[in-house]
Structure 1
């Protein structure tokens, strides 16, 4: 799996790329009717493009902002925080709408994103793609409802910072945990605060994705107190085998879920059929990984003969 297409929709709005080099008065949407994408162009770099955007578009009306490629350097946080007063109605922010031809997921350079959260206390949604050198301190937000990290290796330090944050209205959490070789060293203990049902009272979706340890997470989720109030659950894009699926199905009921995302799995054909049969009213995504697992003994026995991999490790 690779990320090779830019966002076309974000926060319920069409994504429109701001062209800092445009000279005509061509048709553009009203500022509040689009998710505006600002990126480095062939002419000015990212900082100049962003300054042009702020000076040209009525950003007081902008509710959704998408940050594209900013060169192979750490994300220029100060460019964004210095302009915070120009975005009084910003509700949704995507940092890193960057595709393969610009940078691999594991190459996207970050820094401490805590100042962004402090500068925009009204954010209801934050999506971050990439995690190289990403850091975060615990923070409080009464507005944040959706938090997503797309990563080939999400540092455990970042996961622990989110777990220690005060987010009473957080409803949707996605963590692409990645592999240790890319800095993805989060453990089961690091995600348990999201599963205990107490610290994040509004959670309705949890996604633990792109991890080689999905079987371990599934075993914990089987008895996690948060599960009865979830509407959707994702254990996808990583290494989920029959062991993990068995833990899910033998644990507490999942029939109340609207959706269960298990894409890019390593389940046997028999376990795929069993999972579908056990959850007849649930939208279960079991799109196959492409590796044949027809013989369950291969899954339940020694994995040495199989090449298990997460969806994105570069």
Structure 2
């Protein structure tokens, strides 16, 4: 995993990282940068948080990234998250938040020990963009990533990056009222790492009824990508989309055939199927069907199945 600047608010700003309480640099204006807190395996997060909130005009902070929050060994996110929640009133301008922005070199995605993130949406009613990485599918701690159904009027972007996204989280997203949500991206992952989402869990999302503003949908990194493609091919939500991503998973010609035989996709500006197991002929068919209509089709990063003892194995882009 690489560090992600997924949020639009973050993209428009230079990222400024704080990792040391002895940092004597002249700090930029609070609202001019995306702030990234990184304990760098040395500073307790409690101390770094106090350093940050004492030195920075938090009422002007618009975007915040929580990087590695542990200083000696992997730890649960909850204590760090509780500090943010306790100080929520000090961040009235916060519009973008990314939790657990850690690279694979810092911590495997399946080791990131998250918790219930529902209070983030409850305490920050003006938040527009939320990104979350991890889930602790290895059971390293007593908690794992969770979410309860919520109503949030302002959220425009929601992204979960996981090698195994728990089905209850997906069902909670589907049961939430998010009238302003424009972009939803779910890395579903594999069952070995807790990714137990089924097509039935996704069904309420695919109707689009609770997501009237949705323009981009990503159902990615799944070992049941063919089943998802077949469901998407007949999903009402597709008609309102401008872009669709079924990338990073185990998509084969079976799933792509379902897409071609399903509802028209020529209204899409972009169809992302990258990291796939499609044949060259199928890639040509997809481009021939969609590109002339103006749809950009990404079929890059073609994979080949592993073969062992007469069996074929297909793999997602991100699991552990």
Aligned residues: 303
**Residue of structure 1 in register with 2:2 after alignment:** 4
Q: Does 1:20 align with 2:20?
A: yes
Indicate which of 75, 78, 95 corresponds to 2:82.
Answer: 78
Match of 1:201 among 186, 195, 212: 212
Q: Tell me, yes or no, if structure 1 residue 179 matches structure 2 residue 190.
A: yes
Question: Could you say which residue in structure 1 is the equivalent of 2:176?
Answer: 165
1:150 aligns with 2:161: yes
1:247-262 paired onto structure 2 within 5 Å: 247-262=258-273
Deviation for aligned residue 1:145: 0.7
Cα pair distance change 1:275/1:292, threshold 3 Å: farther
State whether structure 2 residue 318 is matched by structure 1 residue 312. yes
CA, structure 1 residues 23+161, in 2 after alignment: closer, same or farther (shift >3 Å)? closer
Q: Flag the 1:52–1:242 CA change in 2: closer, same or farther, 3 A.
A: same
- Take 2:62 and 2:255, find their aligned partners in 1: how far apart are those partners? 40
Q: What do residues 274-298 of structure 1 show as CA deviations (whole Å, max 9, x unaligned)?
A: 11111111111111234279xxxx9
What are structure 2's unaligned runs of at least 5 residues? 137-143
Contact 2:244 2:271 in 1 (8 A): yes
Alignment of 1:77-226 (within 5 A): 77-132=81-136, 133-226=144-237
Could you tell me which runs of 5 or more consecutive residues in structure 1 were left unpaired when the two chains were aligned: none
Q: Which 10-residue stretch deviates more, 104-113 or 191-200?
A: 191-200
Equivalent-residue separation in structure 2 for 1:109 and 1:309 (angstroms): 23
Structure 1 distance, partners of 2:4, 2:170, is 26
TM-score by length of 1: 0.92
Structure 2 partner of 1:244: 255
Q: Normalising by structure 2, what TM-score?
A: 0.90
Q: Structure 1 pair 304/285, CA: closer, same or farther in 2 (3 Å)? A: farther
Separation (CA, whole Å) in 2 of partners of 1:291 and 1:87: 48
Alignment RMSD: 2.0
